[in-house]
Amino acid sequence: MPGTKAEKIRLEAVTKTFEVRDGGTFTALEDVTLDVAPGEFLVVVGPSGCGKSTLLDLVSGLTKPTGGRILLDGAPVTGPALDRGIVFQQYALLPWRTALRNIEFALEAQPRLDRLSRKNRVERAREYLDLVGLSGFEDRYPHELSGGMRQRVAIARALVADPAVLLMDEPFAALDAQTREQLQEELLRIWHKTGTTVVFITHGIDEAVYLGQRVAVMTSRPGRIKQVVEVPLGDRQADDDVRSSPEFAAHRHQVWSLLRDEVTAVREVVSVG
């Protein structure tokens, strides 16, 4: 939950355009202003092609805005840094390393943690493997793990270096429905335990409402913030039936109503094209 009223992340009138082959430009995001509080779990949802992943790339520092600016703890984001962990839809695990060694790799790559001994790195990696519920799978290679297990390893690797922000780009999209719901519950447990600020991208309305304290709904291209919806569902983990509750249904309907016109707009553009 948010620790203070100060922003952890702030996007100020952010625009992102790309050059295209015919010499013109393509606007992915336009005038996006959004705040994320310390320790908040914010979900961003929108129609396909609205710029959700571009927004995450900008916050991560993997790309720079064409206009506006992005602040982290009040300082401009100028590129990738150790204070942001990223989890993608594809697990991006090293196939020649075991689950434990994949997590340990994140510590080897962190200059500020260079002084950790090999023993301490292994102990820390084991701690985070346990955090994601994979104790006993230390020596398994990625091809020996299910899709859900691989994504747990990817989450542990992103968290092991103690980033201030965890950025997640549709991390559960490729998983079956049962595994996806299980990992959603696991992610909330991890978030409650670590207090990390999370920005989570999804195209799933149910997933957005279940996970997010707030849901930022984006317009169709060029992506803007249409509305930010508060989702005061309390402790999702304590209520086994939260997804079937009237409150959940009401929030889901609100988000879907905001998205409906945007999805229709995308279909119309595709039809005309």
Domains, the chain, ranges and CATH?
9-83+164-272 (3.40.50.300), 92-162 (no CATH)
Q: pLDDT digits over 159-177, tens only? A: 998 899 999 999 998 888 9
For the ranges 109-118, 126-135, 179-188, the lowest mean pLDDT is seen at 109-118
Q: What is the pLDDT of residues 76-121, one digit of tens each?
A: 999 998 899 999 888 789 999 999 999 998 888 665 555 567 778 8
Asked if residues 3 and 38 have their Cβ atoms less than 8 Å apart, the reply is yes
More confident residue, 24 or 215: 215
d(CA 96, CA 64): 33
| CB 47 within 8 Å of CB 226 | no
Q: Are 67 and 15 in contact (CB under 8 A)?
A: yes
Mean per-residue pLDDT, 9-13: 97
Contact yes or no for 29/201 (Cβ under 8 A):
no
Q: Which three-class secondary structure state does DSSP give residue 9?
A: strand
Task: Find the helix packing angle between 99-108 and 147-159, rounded to 10°.
Answer: 20
The count of other CB atoms within 10 Å of the CB of residue 15 is 17
Q: What residue type is 146 in one-letter code?
A: S
CB burial class (10 A; 0-12, 13-18, 19+) of residue 139? exposed
Q: From CA 61, how far away is CA 245, in angstroms rounded?
A: 39
**Which residues make Cβ contacts (< 8 Å) with residue 1, sequence separation at least 6?**
39, 40, 213
- Please compute Rg for the chain using Cα positions: 19
In order, the DSSP letters of 188-251 are HHHHHHH--EEEEEES-HHHHHHH-SEEEEEPSSSB-EEEEEE-----GGG-TTGGGSHHHHHH
Instruction: Name the token pair of 203.
Output: 């195209």
What pTM was estimated for this model as a whole? 0.89
What percent of the chain is helix, strand and coil (3-state, nearest 5)? 40, 25, 35
Tokens of 136: 């006993």
Question: Mean of the pLDDT values across residues 10-20?
Answer: 94
- Burial code (b: 16+ CB inside 10 Å, e: under 16) for 249-269 equals eebbebbeebbeebbeebeee
Residue 83: beta bridge partners? Answer: none
Asked if the model's pLDDT at residue 272 lies above 50, the reply is no
Chain mean position to CA 219: 19
Q: Residue 81 is which amino acid? A: A
